Amino acid sequence: MLGFIVLVAAVGWLFGYVTGVGYWGLVAAVVFSLLMTWGSYFNSDRIALAMSRAQPADPRTHLQLHNIVEGLSIAAGLPKPRVYVVEDEAPNAFATGRDPKHAAVAVTSGLLGKMNRDELEGVLAHELAHIKNRDTLVMTLAVTLVGVIVLLGDWMLRALWWGGHDRDDRGGGAGAVVALLGVVLLVIAPLFAQLLQFAISRRREFLADADAVFLTRHPQGLTNALRKLQSDRTAVRSASRATAHLWIESPLSLEKARGERGATGVGAWLNRLFETHPPLESRIAALQQTTLGAGAFIP
C-alpha cells in the first residue's frame, strides 16, 4: 500500500507540472475513483455472484456443504455467510462481500464432485479466512489506487496532446526533461500499479492458506485439495480477469498451464508477475513447511 501511495504521489506531481493545474487534478482523480469504488464496494458481492452465475445452494440438496460452512463459521467466530453453487465442471471456489456480515461463499459443482469432505473443508476454510481477514477491503483499496493512477495517466496524455507541452517552455531544457519523464512514467505507472495489486493478492492467498490450516487443524485437507486443483486443467466458463483474484486458484486454467507447467526462463517469470495467485506448487510447499514446523501437524 505504501508503494501505491508513492506511485500515486509521483504521478500526481508530474500531472500537475505538465498540465499546470497543480494538485487539483490529483484531488479530482482521487475523489472520482473513490466515488466509483464506493459504489462497487457496497455491491461487490452481488456483482461477483452475478458475473459467476452463482445460484443459492439448496439446504437439502447441499446439506453437507451448508454443514461444513456453518461449522467453520462457528470455529472462526464469524456469522455464517450465504452459500452459493456455480454450475461448472471446473473445481474452484471464491468468497466475496464487503465485511463478514455481508459475505458469501460460492463453490463450483466440479469442486463438490471432485473433493472429499476433508478437501472441501480445507477449501472452504481458505475462503472463510479471506472473509475474516477482510481481504475484499484490501483489494478494494488496491483497485482504487490503480484507478487513480490510470485516470491520471489518461488525463496527462490528453493534456499533452491538447497543448500541455507548450508549458514546458517555461522550464527550458529542464522542463522538457521533466515532461519526457512524465510521459514515460504515465505509460509505465499503470503497469507497475497492476503488478503491485497482483503482489498484494498473491500475499493474501498465502495468508488465507495458513489461516485455513489453523482453522481446520488438518493441513492435509487443503494440501490435497490444492494438488487436485493443480492437476485439473479445466477453466471456469463464467470467470474473467475482473473476478480472477477472488477464486482460490486462477480460473483461467489455460494461461495457468502455460505459466506453471513446463514453462521456464523469462517467459515463465513474466507470466508469474501478472498472475493474481502464487503458483500452486509454491503454496503446497509453504503448507508442507508450515506443517513440519508445527510438529503436531506433520502429515
Question: Are 34 and 109 part of one and the same domain?
Answer: no
Question: Are 39 and 50 part of one and the same domain?
Answer: no
Question: Are 145 and 286 part of one and the same domain?
Answer: no
- CB-hemisphere CA count at 13 Å for 110? 16
Q: Is 89 a catalytic residue?
A: no
- Read off the pLDDT of residues 179-237 as tens digits, 9 standing for 90 and up: 676 667 667 777 777 777 777 788 899 999 999 999 999 889 999 999 999 998 888 88
Task: Tell me which of 121, 127, 205, 275 is the catalytic residue.
Answer: 127
Q: Which residues, in sequence order, are CB contacts of 276 under 8 Å at separation 6+?
A: 198, 201, 202, 244, 245, 250
Within-domain flag for 187: no
- Read off the pLDDT of residues 229-270 as tens digits, 9 standing for 90 and up: 999 888 888 777 667 778 898 887 544 444 444 444 444 555
Within-domain flag for 195: no
- pTM score, two decimals? 0.76
Q: Which residues, in sequence order, are CB contacts of 226 under 8 Å at separation 6+?
A: 249, 280, 283, 284, 287
Question: Are 68 and 125 part of one and the same domain?
Answer: yes
Which strands make up the sheet holding 54-56, listed edge to edge? Answer: 54-56, 82-86, 104-108, 93-96
Question: Are 98 and 155 part of one and the same domain?
Answer: no
Please give the radius of gyration of the chain, using alpha carbons only, rounded to the nearest integer.
Answer: 22
Question: Are 112 and 218 part of one and the same domain?
Answer: yes
Within-domain flag for 35: yes
Query: Where are the strands (E) in the chain, listed by range?
Result: 54-56, 82-86, 93-96, 104-108
- Read off the pLDDT of residues 104-156 as tens digits, 9 standing for 90 and up: 999 999 999 999 999 999 999 999 999 999 987 777 677 667 777 777 777 77
Question: Are 130 and 263 part of one and the same domain?
Answer: yes
| CATH number of the domain to which 236 belongs | 3.30.2010.10
Within-domain flag for 15: yes
Position 151, amino acid: L
Within-domain flag for 98: yes
Q: Can you read off the three cell numbers belonging to residue 289?
A: 513447511
Task: Supply the range of the domain harboring residue 269.
Answer: 46-135+200-294
User: Looking at the 3D structure of the chain, how many domains does it have?
Assistant: 2
Domain boundary, last residue among 179, 209, 239: 179
